[in-house]
């Protein structure tokens, strides 16, 4: 009988049995699937859906409303469902029930968006999708500290780091295959993603909580899920700030990418899906290599901060290149450089966070709380970007220069972290 990789929630030690290639493969595919089901709409289809409902003039405001409210709800979903997952003494495990429930709700939400006759209905569907997929993500990300020993976290985190760009490439490729068929553009990524998540769920040796050790749920307990005390967990607080700034830079780029191509580069609307796919592909080729190499080097050297800071600086430089670009070729160059920074950042930052979690018994709660740093920028960027554009005379160069500054600040706030090198 093979030894279990998991541990009881009552135990204080982390996993010690190395994970194998099969686990890493299925975990990576499931992790990628959540990104696939959310990123495909964010990159292309959500913007085009809203544009088809309200027209070109009102589309930016409609997109800001939908993504902003959806992102705001995602802020609450991560910590709440992470807390609930940490408190779940199910015979199926602590994480599995929330993965399945989140998947079902998320696919239903995307279906509502795909068939919506108005922006209001799009908003309802997108909110359901955001809340549900964040419940799934909160349980899924907790599998890293649950199952993976510290000595493998950089390598596994590096593999997970390629999931966002791979999902972006796959998502934009699938979308362009079904150009002109909006329902298929939305639902095809969901069908593929759901199958891959269920494959991982079926094979997971899930962590289990002894019912006698389970702490009861309460409103006070759920409210405590949102407490991040910099005095008790300064390293987690600094890591939170860094991720927030970095994802803010990414949110500015992705949320308004379609409009940037149309208004600044001069791309015809019908050509936007193909150009976004090509740009994402160029970015991802570089990103995959940077993520795999960066994660392994981080494990071998035992260092996290230097890799994260250098990656954030590189991503900032890339955004300044994009800000100065006036042709699609210049945009592609910036996207290629951004792949280097984005890949190295995602490869190591998740391992850094897992290493500085203050309490193993609350890992999903802390990671769900940390996920606010991923979700909040998608609520703020759509609200802040129109203000920046209005103040700058609709200058996307200024907007992406602000994004580049956010990435540079993300590199600076990593320096005070003391729990890792």
- Domain assignment present for 367: yes
Is residue 269 situated within a structural domain? yes
Q: What is the spatial distance between Cα 390 and Cα 369, in angstroms, rounded to a whole number?
A: 33
On whether residue 92 sits in a domain, the answer given is yes
pLDDT at 27: 94
What is the number of other CB atoms lying within 10 angstroms of the CB of residue 14? 17
Q: Which residue has the higher pLDDT, 179 or 133?
A: 133
pLDDT tens per residue across span 153-176: 878 877 887 787 788 778 888 888
Strands (E), 270-363: none
Q: What is the C-alpha separation between 362 and 36, in angstroms, rounded?
A: 27
Q: Is residue 305 part of a domain?
A: yes
Inter-residue contact 315 to 335 (CB < 8 Å): no
Q: Residue 132: what pLDDT?
A: 94
195: CB partners within 8 A, 6+ apart: none
Is 171 a member of any domain?
A: yes
Pairwise CA distance, residues 74 & 85, whole Å: 16
d(CA 419, CA 208): 28
- Show the tokens assigned to 72: 């705001």
Confidence of residue 134 (pLDDT cuts 50, 70, 90): confident
Greatest extent of the chain over all pairs of C-alpha atoms, in Å: 67
Q: What confidence score (pLDDT) does residue 214 get?
A: 58
For residues 211-218, average pLDDT: 62
Closest to 79 in 3D by CA, of 240, 299, 301, 294: 240
Mean predicted confidence (pLDDT) in 359-364: 59
CATH at residue 192: 1.20.1250.20
The answer to whether residue 328 is domain-embedded is yes
Number of domains in the chain: 1
Residue 3 belongs to some domain of the structure: no
Q: Which of 106, 168, 171 is nearest to 134 (CA)?
A: 106
Do the Cβ atoms of 316 and 349 come closer than 8 Å? no
Q: 358 is in which domain, residue-wise?
A: 21-210+229-412
Q: Are 272 and 262 in contact (CB under 8 A)?
A: yes
- Burial label for 216, CB within 10 Å (0-12, 13-18, 19+), is exposed
pLDDT mean across residues, the chain? 81
Name the range with the highest mean pLDDT among 10-19, 54-63, 97-106, 199-208. Answer: 97-106
Which of 268-272, 328-332, 357-361 has the largest mean confidence?
328-332
* Residue of higher predicted confidence among 10 and 312: 312
Instruction: Confirm whether pTM is higher than 0.85.
Output: no
Average the pLDDT over 390-398 and give the result: 84
Is residue 417 included in any domain, yes or no? no
CA nearest to 140, candidates 90, 204, 188, 214: 204
């Amino acid at each position: 009988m093979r030894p279990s990789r998991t541990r009881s929630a009552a135990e204080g030690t982390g996993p010690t049995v190395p994970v194998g290639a099969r686990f890493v493969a299925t975990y990576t595919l499931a992790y990628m699937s959540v990104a696939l089901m959310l990123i495909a709409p964010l990159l292309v289809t959500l913007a085009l859906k809203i544009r088809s409902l309200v027209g070109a003039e009102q589309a930016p405001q409609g997109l800001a409303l939908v993504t902003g409210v959806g992102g705001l709800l995602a802020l609450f979903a991560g910590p709440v469902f992470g807390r609930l997952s940490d408190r779940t003494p199910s015979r199926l495990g602590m994480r599995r029930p929330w993965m399945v429930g989140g998947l079902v709700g998320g696919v239903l939400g995307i279906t509502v968006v795909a068939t919506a006759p108005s922006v209001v209905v799009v908003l309802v569907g997108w909110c359901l999708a955001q809340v549900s997929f964040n419940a799934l993500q909160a349980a899924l990300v907790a599998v890293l500290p649950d199952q993976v020993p510290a000595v493998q976290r950089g390598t596994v985190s590096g593999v997970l780091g390629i999931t966002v760009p791979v999902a972006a490439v796959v998502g934009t490729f699938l979308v362009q295959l079904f150009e002109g068929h909006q329902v298929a553009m939305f639902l095809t990524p969901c069908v593929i993603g759901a199958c891959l998540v269920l494959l991982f769920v079926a094979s997971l040796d899930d962590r289990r909580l002894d019912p006698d050790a389970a702490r009861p749920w309460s409103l006070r307990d759920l409210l405590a899920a949102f407490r991040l005390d910099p005095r008790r967990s300064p390293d987690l607080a600094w890591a939170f700030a860094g991720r927030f700034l970095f994802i803010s830079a990414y949110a500015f780029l992705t949320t308004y990418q379609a409009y940037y191509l149309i208004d600044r580069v001069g791309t015809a609307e019908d050509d936007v899906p193909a150009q976004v796919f090509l740009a994402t592909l160029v970015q991802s080729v570089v990103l995959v290599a940077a993520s795999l190499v960066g994660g392994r080097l981080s494990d071998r050297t035992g260092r996290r901060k230097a890799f994260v800071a250098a990656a954030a600086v590189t991503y900032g430089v890339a955004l300044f290149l994009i800000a100065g670009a006036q042709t699609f070729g210049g945009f592609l160059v910036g996207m290629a450089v951004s792949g280097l920074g984005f890949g190295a950042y995602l490869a190591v930052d998740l391992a850094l966070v897992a290493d500085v979690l203050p309490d193993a018994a609350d890992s999903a709660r802390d990671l769900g709380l940390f996920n606010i740093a991923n979700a909040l920028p998608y609520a703020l960027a759509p609200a802040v970007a129109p203000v920046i554009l209005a103040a700058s005379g609709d200058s996307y160069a200024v907007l992406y220069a602000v994004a580049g500054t956010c990435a540079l600040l993300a590199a600076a706030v990593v320096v005070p972290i003391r729990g890792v090198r």
